[in-house]
Amino acid sequence: MTDIVVEELPIPSALDGSPAAADVLATVEVRNAAEEAGYGTPDVRVDAPRLLASWSDPHAPHRLFAVRDGGRIVARGMIEAQLDEPAGACWVDVRVHPAATGRGIGRALADHVETVAREAGHSHAIVYAVSPDGPGPRLVPPTGFGSLPADNREVRFLLARGYRLEQVVRASRLGLPLDPDELRARIRLAHERSGPDYRVHRWAGPSPERFLADMAVLRTRMSTDAPQAGLEEPEDVWTAERVADYEARRESDEAVVITAAVEHLGEGRLVGFTELNTPVDITRAVSQEDTLVLREHRGHALGMLLKLENLEQLEGEHPGHPSIITWNADENRHMLAVNEALGFAPMAYEGAWRLDLR
C-alpha cells in the first residue's frame, strides 16, 4: 500500500445489515484473526454483539478507526475512555489482519490513534498486547513478575513508539467438562473454610434488583483493587442505575452471564462476586469475567468458593463448552493460585504497556 488512509467509523446501535454494521463486523474479524494468531487458539475469538454491547456504554465512550485495502478493512484501531475522566488515561487498541502485516499499516494506524488521543487531552494511553513465546533475551516489567521475549515484533514496535512495559498478564485455560462429584465435594469443603458468616447467591442474566447497589460498589472497587502496577488506571465509579443499564445492554449479547456473589450476613450486603460469560454456541469457549472479593473480607477462601459455585452452575445449566479462559496480572499470585488449584493452565502472556501523552 502506497497511500494508507485511516478513517473513523460510526458505531451503530445494532447489527442491522447497514453499511456501518458491516464495517463493525469486518473490524471484529480483524480483531479475531489477530488474536487467534497471537494466542494460537480460536478460544480468544469473540462475537460482534458482545463487543458492540460494550462499545455502546455511555460511561465508557469508544471511537473506532479502520484502514481499507481495495475496499476491504484490514486493520482496526480503538480508543476507549471514561466519561468522568476526560483528561485521564485512555485504552488504545491497534490490530492488523495477519495477512496485511509488514506493510506499514500498523504504524500509520498507531500514529493516527495516538494523535487523536493526545489531541483529546488524555494523560496517557494503555495498551494490552499478546506476546507469543520466543527465544532470546527477556523484557521484565517493574513488578518483577513475568517477562516477554524482547525480540518479538510487537515488543520492538511498542518500545520504539515510547511505550513502557508496566505489567505482564497471564492468559489461562481450563478444559471442560469437570467431574461433578469432585466439584460438589470441593464446594462443601470451601463452605466449611469460609464459615457460617457468608452466603452464596447465584443467578443468570441481570442482577436481582436488591443487589444492584451492592454490585455497583463491587464494580467500582474492581477498578481500584485489582493489581495495576504503574498503569494508573483511574477509578471507574458505578451506580445502581449504571449496573442495570449495563446488564440490560449485555442481554443483547449472544451469550448469558452467570454470576456467583457472596453476602456477608452480618452486614447484609454482597462482598464478592465472579462472572462467566457463556456463549449460546456451545462450541465456543466461556470467558471468565471479573472476580473480586473486597479487601476487608479476604482471608476466608471466598474467591475459591465463588469460582467453584460459578463452575457448578455453568456445568449444570450450560454444559458442553470446551474450555474457560481468563486473564490475571502475573503478580496477582493469590488469584493465580486459586485458578491453578481449579486446573487452569497458562495459555499465553500479554504485556500491559503505557505511553505518556503529555
The domain boundary, picked from 112, 146, 172, lies at 172
Q: Are residues 52 and 197 in the same domain?
A: no
Q: Check which CATH number belongs to the domain holding 110 and give it.
A: 3.40.630.30
Residue 138 lies in a domain: yes
How many Å separate Cα 249 from the centre of its chain?
A: 17
Would the pLDDT of 325 be above 60? yes
Q: Residue 11, SS3?
A: coil
Would the pLDDT of 108 be above 80? yes
What is residue 161's DSSP assignment?
T
What value does the mean pLDDT take over residues 5-9? 98
- Calpha distance 198→348 (Å, rounded): 35
- Calpha distance 180→340 (Å, rounded): 18
Decide: residue 348, CB within 10 A, 0-12 exposed, 13-18 middle, 19+ buried: buried
Q: Are residues 181 and 70 in the same domain?
A: no
Q: Are residues 225 and 162 in the same domain?
A: no
Q: Residue 303, SS3?
A: helix
The domain boundary, picked from 142, 172, 202, lies at 172
Q: Mean pLDDT over all residues of the chain?
A: 96
Q: What is the pLDDT of residue 317?
A: 96
Cβ atoms of residues 247 and 206 within 8 Å: yes
Q: What is the pLDDT of residue 1?
A: 57
Q: Are residues 98 and 160 in the same domain?
A: yes
pLDDT band at residue 95, thresholds of 50, 70 and 90? very high
What percentage of the chain has pLDDT greater than the value 70?
A: 99
Cβ atoms of residues 328 and 335 within 8 Å: yes
Cβ atoms of residues 105 and 67 within 8 Å: yes
Q: Residue 147, SS3?
A: coil
Cβ atoms of residues 311 and 84 within 8 Å: no
pLDDT band at residue 84, thresholds of 50, 70 and 90? confident
Q: Are residues 262 and 192 in the same domain?
A: yes
* Residue at 102: amino acid letter: G
**Any idea which of 253-257, 277-281, 310-314, 335-339 has the lowest mean pLDDT?**
253-257
Residue 356 lies in a domain: no
Domains contained in the chain, number: 2
pLDDT band at residue 53, thresholds of 50, 70 and 90? confident
Q: What is the pLDDT of residue 252?
A: 67
Q: What is the pLDDT of residue 56?
A: 87
Residue 151 lies in a domain: yes
What is residue 87's DSSP assignment?
T
Strand order in the sheet with 255-264: 6-9, 62-69, 72-80, 90-96, 124-130, 345-356, 164-175, 323-329, 286-293, 269-279, 255-264, 198-204
Grid coordinates given for 177: 467438562
The domain boundary, picked from 154, 172, 190, lies at 172
Residue 199 lies in a domain: yes
Q: Are residues 266 and 199 in the same domain?
A: yes
- Calpha distance 351→42 (Å, rounded): 20
Would the pLDDT of 312 be above 60? yes
Q: Residue 154, SS3?
A: helix
Residue 22 lies in a domain: yes
Q: Tens digits of per-residue pLDDT, 219-260?
A: 999 999 989 999 999 999 999 999 999 999 888 667 899 999
Determine the angle formed by the axes of helices 333-342 and 302-317, rounding to 10 degrees: 40
What domain range includes position 182? 177-321
Residue 352 lies in a domain: no
Would the pLDDT of 277 be above 60? yes
Q: Are residues 278 and 207 in the same domain?
A: yes
Query: Which residue(s) pair with 171 in the sheet?
Result: 327, 348
**Any idea which of 44-48, 156-160, 308-312, 352-356 has the lowest mean pLDDT?**
44-48
Grid coordinates given for 114: 495516538
Q: Are residues 146 and 106 in the same domain?
A: yes
What value does the mean pLDDT take over residues 212-217? 98
- Residue 316 CB coordination number (10 Å): 10
Q: Are residues 42 and 133 in the same domain?
A: yes
Q: Are residues 168 and 192 in the same domain?
A: no
Residue 343 lies in a domain: no
Q: What is the pLDDT of residue 2?
A: 64
pLDDT band at residue 322, thresholds of 50, 70 and 90? very high
* Residue at 224: amino acid letter: T
Residue 234 lies in a domain: yes
- Calpha distance 65→62 (Å, rounded): 10
Q: Are residues 121 and 254 in the same domain?
A: no
Q: What is the pLDDT of residue 86?
A: 80
Q: Are residues 163 and 266 in the same domain?
A: no
How many Å separate Cα 63 from the centre of its chain?
A: 18
